[in-house]
Amino acid sequence: MNPTVMLPPRPDRRWTMAKQLGIDTAVVRFWGMDEWWEYERLMLTKTRFADHGFSLDVVEDRPPMEKTVLGKRGRDAEIEVVKELLRNMGRLGIDTYCWVWTENPLGVIRTSDSIPGRGDSQCIGYDHEWMERAPVHEAADVTEEELWENLRYFLDEVVPVAEEAGVNLALHPDDPPTSPIRGVPRIVTSVEEYRRILALHDSPHHGITFCQGNFSAMQAAIPETIREFGDRIHFVHFRDVEGNSEKFVETWHDEGPTDMKAAIEAYQDIEFEGPIRPDHVPRMIGEEDREETMAGYTDMGRLFAIGYIKGLIE
């Protein structure tokens, strides 16, 4: 297992903090950059990390895919961009592509961003009641059957490219893993749906981002599910939640309901050697100057989480 963190594509204080934590692998998200999947831009990102002592192992950003998910005209052009990304990742030796499906078109949803946590830290959470009051989304006319057919179409196109490029596709769960939301069905919300998705292509390059928080919200038995999916797990988001898929709060890594030590032991049992990063941490005192930062991605909680992960692994 390689503890890592999500970093921006250019050096800033987070790069320095990662180095001080003993991290030498990176996960990148491009935060609004245009056409970052082109070879030259991806190459410069790869070499920039290398020049600062990082191996870039995961791309956790996605080109536009809403037309692909909804089966609309223009999806083939979107899929060609994903293929371009995969081929360029292969050329540059970037191993893993973390992607999502029916988060399109809704995205990651939280209904609270300052729930009081331990020591007056601020946690984020989801309560489906608030989404049930929300207006119906314009994409609510899509059906589950159409989403499954569109997913099959997408995988038929991209899995062979990923295999040829030597890149692992790592599908992240819907977040929150509940359906429907604002009338839009979601189909990556349970262990059973993951079994069905993996069965669409029996390829070692078609696998999972095992986001423990989402699997916990699914009420999955975490260690047993890790062992079931085994070598189809390519990337891990190490976090936890208190609650279920319709109402949960993201917890500190050491106070949620999941036995985190047992989870690490399960990854060791399946001989997982890939990247594992903390995700969605509480905001701590003194981080009021980081209000612009996405909820769950402030720095100090991640420092605690990295130390906790490294300690469990050791």
Q: Which two tokens stand for residue 284?
A: 């701590």
Under DSSP, the state recorded for 293 is S
Catalytic residue among 57, 61, 95, 279: 279
Helix (H) or strand (E) holding 233: strand 233-238
Q: What is the pLDDT of residue 102?
A: 87
| Band (10; pLDDT cuts 50, 70, 90) | very high
Torsion angle of the four alpha carbons 5, 10, 14, 16, in this order, in degrees rounded to the nearest 10? 110
> Which listed residue (211, 234, 253, 267) is catalytic?
211
The verdict on whether omega for the bond into residue 11 sits within 30 degrees of 0, i.e. cis, is no
Strand partners, 128: none
Predicted confidence (pLDDT) per residue in 72-131, tens digit:
999 999 999 999 999 999 999 999 999 999 888 999 999 998 899 999 999 999 999 999
Q: Is residue 254 a contact partner of residue 214, using CB atoms and an 8 Å limit?
A: no
pLDDT class of 311 with cuts at 50, 70, 90: very high
Active site residue 172: yes
Find how far residue 256's CA is from the centre of its chain: 19
Query: What pLDDT is recorded for position 296?
Result: 76
Catalytic residue among 61, 237, 240, 253: 237
- Active-site residue, 52 included: no
* pLDDT tops 70 at residue 43: yes
Structure tokens at 116: 């009081």
Tell whether the model's pLDDT for residue 292 goes beyond 90. Answer: no
**What is the 8-class DSSP label of residue 181?**
B
- Ranges of H-type helices in the chain: 13-20, 39-51, 66-70, 75-92, 128-132, 144-165, 191-200, 212-217, 222-229, 260-269, 299-313
- Residue 193 or 290, more confident: 193
Tell me which of 97, 98, 126, 172 is the catalytic residue.
Answer: 172
Could you give the dihedral angle defined by the CA atoms of residues 297, 232, 186 and 57, in that order, rounded to the nearest 10 degrees? 30
237 is catalytic: yes
Per annotation, catalytic residue among 97, 126, 267, 297 = 297
Binned at pLDDT 50, 70 and 90, residue 254 comes out as very high
Q: How far apart are CA 108 and CA 133, in angstroms?
A: 17
Whole-model pTM? Answer: 0.95
Active site residue 98: no
Grouping H, G, I as helix, E, B as strand and the rest as coil, residue 263 is: helix
pLDDT in tens, 126-148: 999 999 999 999 999 999 999 99
Angle at 152 between CA 229 and CA 219, to 5 degrees: 35
Write out pLDDT tens, residues 209-241: 999 999 999 999 999 999 999 999 999 999 999
Query: What domains sit in the chain, N to C, each tagged with a CATH number?
Result: 2-313 (3.20.20.150)
Task: Give me the chain's average pLDDT, please.
Answer: 95
